[in-house]
Structure 1
Amino acid sequence: MAGAPDDRHPLFVPVVLVGGLLFGFGLAYSHMARPEVVLEFLLFEDFGLLFVLFGAAAVTGVVYALAPRVLSRAPLTGDRFERRLKSFDRNVLVGGAIFGVGWGLSGVCPGAGYASLGVGNLSILWAIGGMFLGAYLQGRWRSRSTDVAPSPTGGD
């Protein structure tokens, strides 16, 4: 199967690492790794991050539009370029609401949290710890809800 870990191009991991470092540098350079700047944006006091977000969305949109036309398959994984739509359900709504409230209260989203740690903001460890705790609790809750399946007969 194309894209399986065994079939990946040998440069897959180094390219992902460099991409992550470049992403983190961009977050730090644009000040999106500073919670106080993000909170000013969310309070409609500083619109500088709007330009950062628009620039990222524009680049992503162009790549998503052109890559399938220029390349038949992804260079490092061999996977086909295709849209992967996910259904809009209760989990998406609840997860988005929790993410939004956490982002609004702390000024930190996961990517920017790690970049903020990389620029020396050690107090961000509290927010990162909260992200890990939330992810763990959500995983436990999801596994419990899938373990408790109703019996086919409806009785004991």
Structure 2
Amino acid sequence: MRLIASYIIGLIFGVGISISGMANPAKVLNFFDVAGAWDPSLIFVMGGAVVVTFIGYRFVLKRPAPMLEQKFQLPTRRDLDLPLIGGSAVFGIGWGIAGFCPGGALPALGTGKSEVFIFVAALLAGIFAVNIMNRMRQMRSATA
């Protein structure tokens, strides 16, 4: 049942990303080009997502547990640290340069365009590099 629910949720997300234009790097880059061919339409996409999420969380978190899990898995940390700020900066810079974010790039893989595959390969390489660096840091602090 979890696999089916995951598939349906991913399908809805991918269709929404595609319809909204978030899988189109030119549309995203035009959003960031405030001095040129600025396209403000993504403000409405992001605003709509925030409103739906805000309302949805109000209903969902009133339940004792999720439908397919024992308990909710919500973040407990609220502090700002260097990895969070650095990761956010790298994400924003990459989104501004490439026009893709991970959520928009995955549905765009279906276009077969090489730049999407290059972006996803770089994304995966970055994830693996961070995991390796975190393991090395943990090993160093365990031996110290």
TM-score by length of 2: 0.88
Which of residues 48, 56, 59 is equivalent to 1:55?
Answer: 48
- 2:10 corresponds to 1:20: yes
Which of residues 78, 85, 110 is equivalent to 2:102?
Answer: 110
Structure having the larger proportion of residues in helix: 2
Partner of 1:144: 136
Write the letter of the residue equivalent to 1:58: V
- SS of the equivalent of 1:149 reads helix
Q: Deviations along 1:105-129, whole A, 9 cap, x unmatched?
A: 1011111001111244343101111
% identical equivalent positions: 27
CA gap of 1:128–1:151, structure 2 versus 1, over 3 A, is: closer
Using the TM superposition, give the Cα deviation of residue 15 of structure 1 relative to its aligned residue in structure 2, in angstroms. Answer: 0.7
Using the TM superposition, give the Cα deviation of residue 59 of structure 1 relative to its aligned residue in structure 2, in angstroms. Answer: 0.5
CA contact (8 A) 1:12 1:77 kept: no
Whole-angstrom distance in 2 between the partners of 1:32 and 1:48? 10
Using the TM superposition, give the Cα deviation of residue 151 of structure 1 relative to its aligned residue in structure 2, in angstroms. Answer: 5.5
Whole-angstrom distance in 2 between the partners of 1:137 and 1:147? 15
Write the letter of the residue equivalent to 1:25: V
RMSD: 1.8
Whole-angstrom distance in 2 between the partners of 1:25 and 1:18? 11
Whole-angstrom distance in 1 between the partners of 2:142 and 2:128? 25
Whole-angstrom distance in 1 between the partners of 2:135 and 2:142? 15
Q: Which runs of 5+ in 1 are unaligned?
A: 1-10
Q: Deviations along 1:1-43, whole A, 9 cap, x unmatched?
A: xxxxxxxxxx222111110111011111111101111001112
Q: Which runs of 5+ in 2 are unaligned?
A: none
Partner of 2:25: 35
Write the letter of the residue equivalent to 1:139: N
Q: How many residue pairs are counted as aligned between the two chains?
A: 140
Whole-angstrom distance in 2 between the partners of 1:123 and 1:52? 23
Partner of 1:85: 76
Write the letter of the residue equivalent to 1:72: P
